[in-house]
Structure 1
Amino acid sequence: MKSALIVYGGWEGHDPEECAAIYRRWLHEDGFTVRTATETAAFADPSIHELSLIIPIFTMSKIEKAEVENLTKAVEGGVGLAGHHGGMSDAFRDAVDYQFMVGGQWVAHPGNIIDYTVDVVKPEDPIMQGITSFPYRSEQYYMHVDPSNEVLATTTFSGEHAWWIKDVVMPVVWKRRHGKGRVFHMTLGHQAKEFENTSMATIMRRGMNWAARDED
């Protein structure tokens, strides 16, 4: 049976506990055993190397050297990593090894909560199958991203809130490899209520399952 660990905490504005509950329900429904933790010390546990999937929901905060070293080695060894928004891509700002693994880091959301469009750029990918471009209201994340990411969806900045980034196309959904591990990230989901958006939730749930290590 597949096994997953959800580690949640950090800045409360991203509803970490509520989002963890959503992931936990999905994972149980999809046949995983699930455990949760509320301290980054969980990343230092040697047993995480045996997991199928790790989901971090830990905006900002700090991670100790031993914790990030064990986490990145687990993913390099084949454990999957998946998550959304700042809970994954604005976690542990001073941990460059963590950012290297994730494939991106949040740097701005001009205009804060605004209306924008999520454009599907790889409709043939199983994660995006049947999903077309859709309107969205949330923070529009401006990211520093790894060029090796396989981008599945993007958004284009209008320039209304920062004129110098007008027409910049920014990844919203990507997948990648980190060693033997599969990594999936989606920048949507500032608050838990956004998981009520069917397209957003479908993408995240499929991506989570894609990232999980195959178990015999």
Structure 2
Amino acid sequence: MREALIVWGGWAGHEPEQCAAVVADLLQEAGFKTYLENTTEAFADPSIAELSLIVPIFTMSKIEKEELDNLTRAVQGGAGLAGFHGGMADAFREAVEYQFMVGGQWVAHPGNIIDYTVEITKPEDPIMQGLPSSFAYRSEQYYMHVDPSNEVLATTRFTGDHASWIDGTVMPVVWKRRHGAGRVFYSALGHVAAEFTHPEMREILRRGMLWAARD
């Protein structure tokens, strides 16, 4: 049986505990044994190197050097890393090695909760197959600093209504990448637990976690 570790905490506005419970249900339905922890100390356990998947849901906060070193070694060794929104890409802002592994970092969400469109750019990818070519979404539209080596699966376009200087900017929303032997998946969708009721958001994350998980 594949095993997954979900580590939740940080800023309460992202409802990390509630989101962790939803993610655990998704993985258990897919046959995983799941472990939930609410401290970054979990990343320091050497046994995480043997896991199939690690899911951080930990907006902002800090991570100790030994915790980060052990986490990055685990992923480089083949453990999968997958996550969403600020729980993965706005975690540990001072930890550039973590950002290097994730492939991006949140920097703004102009207009806060707004309506926008997500465009699937690689419909042939197994994570995206059969989904609509585009879909409407209401949440924070993440403006991010992103790694050009990411394999981008979906994007969004900013209108400039809330920051005129980014009008027309196309921003990655979903990507996958490698970090050493490990697979890394990220989706910017999922501000709070209620967004898991959005069918495309939920399915993209579910498929992405399964893709990232080591067999």
Q: TM-score range by the shorter chain?
A: over 0.9
Q: TM-score, normalised by structure 2?
A: 0.99
1:160-179 matches, cutoff 5 A = 160-179=161-180
Task: Provide the secondary structure at the position in 2 that maps to 1:48.
Answer: helix
Give the letter aligned to residue 78 of structure 1: G
Task: Provide the secondary structure at the position in 1 that maps to 2:78.
Answer: coil
1:138 aligns with 2:139: yes
CA distance in 1: counterparts of 2:114 and 2:70, whole angstroms? 38
**CA drift at 1:4:** 0.4
Instruction: Report how many residues are paired.
Output: 214
CA distance in 1: counterparts of 2:61 and 2:51, whole angstroms? 24
**CA drift at 1:34:** 0.7
Give the letter aligned to residue 171 of structure 1: P
**CA drift at 1:66:** 0.3
Of all paired residues, the percent bearing the same amino acid is 72
CA deviations on 1:82-117 (whole Å, 9 max, x unpaired) are 000000000000000000000000000000000000
Task: Provide the secondary structure at the position in 1 that maps to 2:115.
Answer: strand
- The aligned counterpart of 2:187 is 186
Give the letter aligned to residue 160 of structure 2: G
- The aligned counterpart of 2:119 is 119
1:1-216 matches, cutoff 5 A = 1-132=1-132, 133-214=134-215
**CA drift at 1:42:** 0.3
CA distance in 2: counterparts of 1:87 and 1:173, whole angstroms? 14
**CA drift at 1:8:** 0.2
Aligned CA-pair RMSD? 0.4
Give the letter aligned to residue 177 of structure 2: R
Deviating runs (4+, > 4 A) in structure 1?
Answer: none
**CA drift at 1:77:** 0.3
Gaps of 5+ in 1: none
CA distance in 1: counterparts of 2:154 and 2:12, whole angstroms? 27
**CA drift at 1:200:** 0.7
Task: Provide the secondary structure at the position in 1 that maps to 2:88.
Answer: helix
Task: Provide the secondary structure at the position in 2 that maps to 1:127.
Answer: coil
Give the letter aligned to residue 96 of structure 1: V
**CA drift at 1:213:** 0.5
Gaps of 5+ in 2: none
